[in-house]
Amino acid sequence: MKIKAAVTPKTGQPFEITDIELPELDSKDVLIKVTASGICHTDVSGRDTGMVNPPSVLGHEGAGIVEEIGSEVTEFQKGDHVVVSFASCGKCDNCLANHPAHCRYYAELNLNSHIDQDTNKLVSRFFGQSSFATYSLVSERNVVKIDKDMDLALAAPLGCGLQTGASSVLNVLKPEAGSSIAVFGVGAVGLSAIMAAKIAGCENIIGIDLHDNRLELAEELGATATIKSGKNVDVAEKIKEITGTGVQHVLDTTGVDMVIEQAIASLDTFGKLATVVTDYSLNIPLEILALGGNSIVGTSQGDAIPQKFIPELISYYKKGQFPFDRMVKFYEFDEINKAFEESENGSVIKPVLKINY
């Protein structure tokens, strides 16, 4: 099947929209006509770091309409509106224990994409979907059915970034009502975490970032206090001035050593820090953790089960409790390079491509 896709020709190069071939539908596959795809930091990594094997097709926050289903697919039918999330095998011990985001084969299934140059066929799909394209062929395990009254273009980024931020709070940190939380880095993931902390009933919700526009939006979305970070700013001290003893929970979205040291220093006794970043190496003195009885936990996708959690987020959105539309800006498909540029320079928090071919 011939489709149009935004192809990464070589590592670090701009996207080129061109025709490629999609593989044949398998018995457990779902063919989706893509109407939108969010742009996430992992797409930047895929384009620039050698994570994938170019030429490739990225995109892993797809949404669209089911066009065709495989012979063994029973949960979906043509015409269903769906969001596409990460891939998992469904058979390993972690998947069977309802932790698909920690699937034993997560890297193999998600962190590659390649177009065979002899056949021009997409033989490996990014996050099992490669949704920077007019059509996406995915396993039924990737797919989440949503109500048809939900705007598909708006729903697209729920498949990764927003899910990660909100679920890291609600399903990993699990803050008690009345507790305190600090979110380091309030991009799309961090802002989702702030909205989730408000849903959880946290008393102190503190957002930390370098950008004034993001801090302003954080306050509008639920932060009770914000701190502009910088080389000469003692963020941990400012957090303790706000809370008295520090925070019980921290989500770090930056992966930066100096930031995480400040994040750990801001924890109250027996506090917990969750990190979602995979791009950096950390060098943290263990005594910082030991003396306070603190802990660090890593999480992929906030340990979410997309088929359960994405409908929950949509429900919160409809009730006005998760107004993530405030951070989204839409672009036409052929504006993909502009969308990446504006995301990287910080002027746009969550770009979403509308794919109307």
pLDDT the model gives residue 45: 93
Write the DSSP symbol of residue 240.
H
**Cβ contacts of residue 95 below 8 Å, gap of 6+?**
88, 89, 103, 104
In the DSSP assignment, the letter for residue 71 is T
β-pairing verdict for 56-57 and 114-116: unpaired
Sequence-separated (6 or more) residues with CB below 8 Å from residue 325: 154, 317
Instruction: Calculate ∠ Cα 333-338-344, nearest 5°.
Output: 120
Tallying the residues shown for the chain, one arrives at 357
10 Å Cβ neighbour count for 115? Answer: 24
Residue type, 42: T
Contact status, residue 257 vs residue 283, Cβ threshold 8 Å? yes
| Global pTM value | 0.96
pLDDT of residue 279: 66
Q: Give residue 76's pLDDT.
A: 98
Give the chain's domains with CATH numbers: 2-159+323-354 (3.90.180.10), 164-300 (3.40.50.720)
10-residue mean pLDDT series, the chain (357 residues): 97 97 96 98 94 97 98 97 98 98 97 96 97 98 97 98 98 98 97 98 98 96 97 95 97 91 95 86 80 94 98 98 98 98 94 94
Q: Residues 79, 83, 88, CA angle at the centre, nearest 5°?
A: 115
Strand 180-184 to 204-209 pairing: parallel
Residue 237 phi, psi dihedral angles, 5° rounding: -65, -40
- b vs e for 13-38, b when ≥16 Cβ sit within 10 Å of the residue's Cβ? eebebeebbbeebeebbbbbebbbbb
